[in-house]
Amino acid sequence: MKIGLATPNSDYGHRTTDMAVEAEQRGYDSLWVGEHSHIPASRETPHPAGIELPQLYWHMRDPFTSLGAAAAVTSRIKLVTGVCLVLEHEVLDLAKSVATLDEVSDGRFLFGVGVGWNREELANVSAVPWAQRYVAMRETIEALRGQWSQHEAGYSGTHVHIEPSWVYPKPVQQPGPPVLMGCQGRIGMQHAAEYADGWCPLDDFLGDPRKAVDRFRSAVESYGRDPDSVPISMYCFSRPTEEKLELYRQLGVERTVFGAPDGAERHQRFVERNQHLLDTFAD
């Protein structure tokens, strides 16, 4: 099983470049960074876990700038958005950012995507109604894939409209970087099963992971797809343990992602404390 490392990538933590170099040296297969362009000060939408919102949510660095810097100081580790909130970006600009990152990393980018959980955050930057966010995400991914794989591509949907355009560079990976979908709710799981290249749910929100993995693979089959062609990267939202990793390995999970805490000292203690799990379970 592959082991990835996720970081809040906060401006008061380690530099992304330092984390990337250390993660590669320690044997992690991938480095994951999240995204929140901003957090509305109103704070009307509660945190999905029902907790007070940690400050890291409004201190995250930009994921594409961060991963571009990480690409320059590493050579093997995969670089992942975990996840990019695609509806908070203009589509053509996002197409170029993703393609550029894949190019400068020599094809090491994995495009983790999601719709987010904060209603006010989406409303601040997009006209997409909250109830239509999954429809808009589908259109966005379809439009992006067209731009990555074709010299000239346009798109016409309910929420996304692009005149035929030339957007370069093209990604090294063709027809584009793998799209990993981080949605674990009922609707999100169906979207991942239908058209994503991988699924990256948060394990704490799945209930019984055995049943969740079975539901996902059944959903993949219902769309006429081979479940083995849509690998799972299980985001270990709480503390990783040998029991968890052994279960995920038995379930055929391709990758488990360790979620490190924010802050330089806490991050360092985390990676040192869990090195034995990496040594034991990583391919």
* Banded pLDDT at 237 (limits 50, 70, 90): confident
Q: What is the SS3 string spanning the chain?
A: CEEEEEECCECCCCCHHHHHHHHHHHCCCEEEECCCCCCCCCCCCCCCCCCCCCHHHHCECCHHHHHHHHHHHCCCCEEEECCEEHHHCCHHHHHHHHHHHHHHCCCCEEEEEECCCCHHHHHHHCCCCHHHHHHHHHHHHHHHHHHHHCCCEEEECCCCEEEEECCCCCCCCCCCCCEEECCCCHHHHHHHHHHCCEECCEHHHCCCHHHHHHHHHHHHHHCCCCHHHCCEEEEECCCCCHHHHHHHHHCCCCEEEEECCCCHHHHHHHHHHCHHHHHHHCC
Q: How far apart are CA 174 and CA 178, in angstroms?
A: 9
Question: Which letter does DSSP use for residue 204 in this model?
Answer: G
Q: Which residues pair with 113 in a beta bridge?
A: 84, 181
* Banded pLDDT at 50 (limits 50, 70, 90): confident
Q: How far apart are CA 236 and CA 234, in angstroms?
A: 6
Q: How far apart are CA 254 and CA 245, in angstroms?
A: 11
pLDDT at 43 over 90: no
Note the pLDDT of residue 51. Answer: 84
- Tell me the mean pLDDT in the region 148-170: 98
Note the pLDDT of residue 59. Answer: 96
pLDDT at 254 over 90: yes
pLDDT at 238 over 90: no
How does pLDDT run across 76-133, given as a tens digit for each residue? 999 999 999 999 999 999 999 999 999 999 999 999 999 999 999 999 999 999 999 9
How does pLDDT run across 208-232, given as a tens digit for each residue? 999 999 999 999 999 999 999 999 9
For residue 169, cis peptide bond before it (omega within 30 degrees of 0): yes
pLDDT at 276 over 90: yes
- Across the chain, what does the average pLDDT equal? 96
Indicate the helix (H) or strand (E) that contains 236. strand 233-236
